[in-house]
A and B are shown apart, each in its own frame.
Chain A
Amino acid sequence: MELTLSILLGFMIIGALFSLHAKDLLSAVIACGIVGYSLVICFLLLRAPDLAIVQIVVETITLIIMVAVVLNSTREELKVKIDTRQIINISLALLFIVVLFFFFIQATDMLNPFGEHTLRMASAYVGETAAKTGSANLVTGIVFDFRGYDTLGEATVLFTAALGVLTILRLKGKK
């Protein structure tokens, strides 16, 4: 299990690196799809079918939007000259990475090893959701009953994003 996940994650890292270094913007966008669709397989391996269904549809729609944006614009990648600013940026990135890695190692030491129970809330949720909400799918029960505010906030964010896109992309004003 852990080995399969490691191989998939390595595949995702290679896809992400290729996507960031691709010469053509269209191939960069499609290589980003490698990462998204591998995520679907990871969700299936980690016993989360709800997330797998959502992710596979959402990734397709994201790809459609990104390809629609990239297709009619300049597709070739900018020429990267190695100047002082680029060197400063890369060294800054490496510094960030080392510092963050140190703190990540310290933080994950407190977690239980992979595949063991980590959150104490889980048993309460698993035990009581079905009896209190009457929903056989525990995830739906949590999303719409115990964490209703979360869902309301999500719907508001979606509404605001749609309004923002409408506002940004309007060329002709209303008379």
Chain B
Amino acid sequence: MTVNILCFILFLVGLYGLITRRNLVKIVISLSIMEFSLFIFLELVGYIDGGIAPIITGQDANAVYVDPLPQAMILTAIVIGLATTAMLMAIAIRLYRKYKTFDIREIKNLKG
């Protein structure tokens, strides 16, 4: 139970950064922190005490394996997370070239 709550606190830290920070780079960082906390929560759901990694070696017939389905989900989610982070950074660097600042409030004021 404590692990779940700590994991959720990590998510909340990301949410707090997303709402209160005004720097574009820090907003991207808080988005990726939220992503990390989701990965670890899904992985905690699939963990079984005394289980081994889900790879069949053929030595032990009745071994207990960790649930492979959340791992398959997170595997795709990690790579998608990298792609979206790269895209957000590209948008940030393009905005920086136009407005010479990372501050979203100034960008909002300087329309056009």
Please say whether the chains A and B touch (CB closer than 8 A): yes
Which residues of B have CB within 8 Å of A161? 83-84, 86-87
Asked if A111 contacts B45 (CB within 8 A), the reply is yes
* Residues of A close to B9: CB separation below 8 A: 13
A interface SS class: helix
Given A157-B80, A165-B87, do A119 and B29 touch, yes or no (CB 8 Å)? no
Supposing A115-B47, A139-B54 touch, asked if A17 and B13 sit within 8 A by C-beta, the answer is yes
A129 to B71, CA, bound (A): 14
Q: Which of B22, B68, B83 interacts with A138 by CB under 8 Å?
A: B68
Measured between beta carbons, the chain A residues less than 8 angstroms from B81 are 58
Q: How large is the interface on B (under 10, 10 to 19, 20 to 34, 35 or more residues)?
A: 35 or more
* A92-B19, A114-B44, A114-B47 known; A16-B10 Cβ under 8 A: yes
Q: Mark B70-93, 1 if CB is under 8 A from A, else 0.
A: 111111101111111111011111
Q: A9-B3, A16-B13, A16-B14 are in contact. Are A89 and B23 (CB under 8 A)?
A: no
Mark B1-40 against chain A: 1 for CB-CB distance below 8 A, else 0: 1111111111011111101111101101110110010011
Query: Of B23, B75, B89, B91, which is within 8 A of A54 by CB?
Result: B75
A5 to B83, CA, bound (A): 28
Contact status of A2 and B2, CB under 8 A, knowing A48-B43, A51-B78: yes
Q: Are B43 and A93 in contact (CB under 8 A)?
A: no
Q: How far is the CB of B97 from chain A (nearest CB, A)?
A: 9
Chain A window 74-112, contacts with chain B (Cβ cutoff 8 Å), 1 for yes, 0 for no = 100110100000100110110011001100100010010
- Additional A-B contacts beyond A47-B66, A62-B85, A143-B76 (18; CB < 8 A): A2-B2, A6-B2, A12-B10, A20-B17, A28-B26, A36-B32, A42-B40, A46-B44, A48-B74, A49-B53, A51-B43, A51-B74, A69-B25, A108-B1, A113-B1, A117-B48, A139-B68, A168-B91
Q: Nearest 6 pairs between A and B by C-beta?
A: A115-B49, A161-B83, A122-B67, A138-B54, A9-B6, A154-B76
Q: List 22 A-B contacts (CB under 8 A).
A: A16-B14, A42-B40, A42-B43, A50-B75, A58-B82, A62-B86, A65-B89, A77-B23, A78-B22, A80-B22, A100-B15, A101-B8, A104-B8, A117-B48, A118-B46, A125-B68, A126-B65, A138-B56, A138-B68, A142-B68, A151-B76, A168-B91
A interface with B by C-beta (< 8 Å): 1-2, 5-6, 9-10, 12-13, 16-17, 19-20, 25, 28-29, 32, 35-36, 39, 42-43, 46-51, 54-55, 58, 61-62, 65-66, 69-70, 73-74, 77-78, 80, 86, 89-90, 92-93, 96-97, 100-101, 104, 108, 111, 113-119, 121-122, 125-126, 129-130, 136-139, 142-143, 147, 150-151, 153-154, 157-158, 161-162, 164-165, 168-169
